[in-house]
Amino acid sequence: MAAAEGGEPTRIMVAVNESTIKGYPHASISSRGAFEWTLKKVVRSNTSGFKLLFLHVQVPDEDGFDDMDSIFASPEDFRTMKHRDKIRGLHLLEYFVKQCHEIGVACEAWVKKGDPKEIICYEVKRVQPDFLVVGSRGLGPFQKVFVGTVSEFCVKHADCPVIAIKRSAAQTPQDPVDD
Amino acid sequence: MAAAEGGEPTRIMVAVNESTIKGYPHASISSRGAFEWTLKKVVRSNTSGFKLLFLHVQVPDEDGFDDMDSIFASPEDFRTMKHRDKIRGLHLLEYFVKQCHEIGVACEAWVKKGDPKEIICYEVKRVQPDFLVVGSRGLGPFQKVFVGTVSEFCVKHADCPVIAIKRSAAQTPQDPVDD
């Protein structure tokens, strides 16, 4: 057996989300960490050997809090809101796509809406990446009870190998639930 | 940020064990799968960018079954037995090291004795690889109760990112607990 000398690039799906501290279009600390880890430790100088697939899942604003001060007078207003949400997600993805282009790594990026853990697993089934990289806040058991963890769910349920990259202690904000 | 253009190679620890069907020096199906996956999907043609660290943990023969027909007449006999066990482990590692040499990937390999899941996590702490690759039989919940799974333990407890590579359905022996 020999190492692959070319052929199809290795397709790595990277699940990314927005910063809970700075909001859109900023990426969360753990998303950025997972992306940078992938470039540094896996892709390295072999930029033609890999293709990164960025998936951002937007959580529907169930309590409508973000739109509390908005006035909805027509169906058009709702369409505008949905459009604005989508644009926010695209600006987040822009951060990752731009860096890939600068380095010369092929990539694709898209936005979905729903429960992140379920949508990520669904997209893995559909897109069939070689593996999935997810950032993780590295929460303790007590914190996990309240916020759940997408990375643990994906490790268990995604239909491809999964590698969870924990945020370093130095990057952890005062409230570890923030990201 | 740019992809690494050289510098220190990415150090990947690969935990390997012997075949439960064919015994030493044959590698288990899931160990071979994890190794081949690493070469094909991560190392690819970038052979100078990675160093593989093969760890084989031997489980002490607690019930002495393997040595039931042996006669122990002196301390020397016990030393011979221990020496023979060690040699078996080295022959297993030879399989992986030989392939790395043929491809031109740097590697190191060593044998430890004890509970695989605990020793692997201990060695991760000591050696600090960039990530750990473990093969997994992909057992169902019923089978797991009886045999435990090293990969799940490592995913939870190892002090580095871990990627578990499941054996494909096509490679699963009649009894899925075999490997």
Those residues of chain A whose CB sits closer than 8 Å to some CB in chain B are 1-6, 10, 36-37, 39-47, 49, 99, 102-103, 105, 130-131, 155, 161-166
- Which of B5-9, B29-33, B117-121, B124-128 comes out lowest in average pLDDT? B5-9
CB-based contact A10 B42, cutoff 8 Å? yes
Q: How far apart are CA B114 and CA A164, in angstroms?
A: 27
A139: pLDDT strictly greater than 70: yes
**Mean pLDDT, chain B, as a whole number?**
88
Q: How far apart are CA A141 and CA A164, in angstroms?
A: 16
B68: pLDDT strictly greater than 70: no
Residue whose C-alpha is closest to residue B33's, from B172, B135, B126, B132 = B135
Looking at the complex, report in whole angstroms how far the Cα of residue A170 sits from the nearest Cα belonging to chain B: 16
Confidence label for B120 from pLDDT (cuts 50, 70 and 90): very high
Confidence label for B146 from pLDDT (cuts 50, 70 and 90): low
Segment A40-59 shows an average pLDDT of: 96
Q: How far apart are CA B29 and CA A68, in angstroms?
A: 57
CB-based contact B44 A10, cutoff 8 Å? yes
Note the pLDDT of residue A173. 87
Of residues A44, A102, A165, nearest to B49 (C-beta): A44
Question: What ipTM was reported for this prediction?
Answer: 0.87
Q: Which of A1, A10, A12, A42 to mutate to test the interface with B (most CBs of B within 10 A)?
A: A42
Searching chain B, which residue's CA lies closest to the CA of residue A2?
B103
Q: How far apart are CA A18 and CA A25, in angstroms?
A: 7
Segment B53-60 shows an average pLDDT of: 93
Looking at the complex, report in whole angstroms how far the Cα of residue A140 sits from the nearest Cα belonging to chain B: 12
Phi, then psi, of A131 in degrees rounded to 5? -160, 170
- Which of A83-97, A154-168, B68-82 comes out lowest in average pLDDT? B68-82
Domain boundaries, chain A: 10-171
Of residues B3, B4, B36, nearest to A1 (C-beta): B36
Residue whose C-alpha is closest to residue A50's, from A1, A88, A100, A89 = A100
- Which of A74-88, A95-109, A116-130, B49-63 comes out lowest in average pLDDT? A74-88
Q: Read off the amino acid at residue A123.
A: E
**Architecture, CATH, for domain B10-171:** 3-Layer(aba) Sandwich (3.40)
B2: pLDDT strictly greater than 70: no
DSSP string, A130-153: SEEEEEE----HHHHHHH--HHHH
Searching chain B, which residue's CA lies closest to the CA of residue A51?
B41
CB-based contact A45 B3, cutoff 8 Å? yes
B115: pLDDT strictly greater than 50: yes
What is the value of pTM for the model shown? 0.89
CB-based contact B161 A163, cutoff 8 Å? yes
Token pair for residue B157? 């407890």
Q: How far apart are CA A68 and CA A2, in angstroms?
A: 59
Sign of the Cα pseudo-torsion (B92, B95, B101, B105, in order):
negative
Q: How far apart are CA A76 and CA A83, in angstroms?
A: 10
Cβ neighbour number for residue A86 with a 10 Å cutoff: 13
CB-based contact A37 B3, cutoff 8 Å? no
